[in-house]
Amino acid sequence: MPNASVRDLRTRFPRVRALVEQEGEVIVTDHGRPVCVLRPYVPPTRPCSPVVDYWARLRQRQPRPLTAKIRRALDDADRGER
């Protein structure tokens, strides 16, 4: 794995960048000691969320329509002894 010093990063960054692109990783040294590793950036992949059927969810949450029989019973109960 190739090495580059901190000074190389300051003065010859285009060369170090090309080296990272060619080799994949470059060890950065400070006074001869390894400090960090430079790698090309790979954006994180987000898992695809399933497509939500909002219309189906809405129909599940809506109250069911009353049948004619239940409506008549409610009307009769509401009228009472009038």
Q: What is the pLDDT of residues 48-80, one digit of tens each?
A: 888 889 999 988 888 888 899 988 888 888 887
The answer to whether residue 45 sits within a structural domain is: no
The number of distinct structural domains making up the chain is 1
**The pLDDT value given to residue 76:** 86
Q: Please report whether residue 82 resides in a domain.
A: no
Q: Is the pLDDT of residue 82 over 70?
A: no
In a domain, 13, yes or no: yes
Is residue 66 included in any domain, yes or no? Answer: no
> Is residue 12 very low, low, confident or very high in pLDDT (cuts 50, 70, 90)?
very high
The parent domain of residue 21 ranges over: 3-38
Confidence of residue 10 (pLDDT cuts 50, 70, 90): very high
The candidate with the shortest Cα–Cα distance to 37, out of 25, 46, 45, 52, is 25
pLDDT band at 29 (very low <50, low <70, confident <90, very high): very high
Is the model's pLDDT at 81 over the cut of 80? no
3-state secondary structure of 73: helix
Q: Is 26 exposed, middle or buried (0-12, 13-18, 19+ CB in 10 A)?
A: buried
Whole-angstrom distance, CA of residue 21 vs CA of residue 42: 12
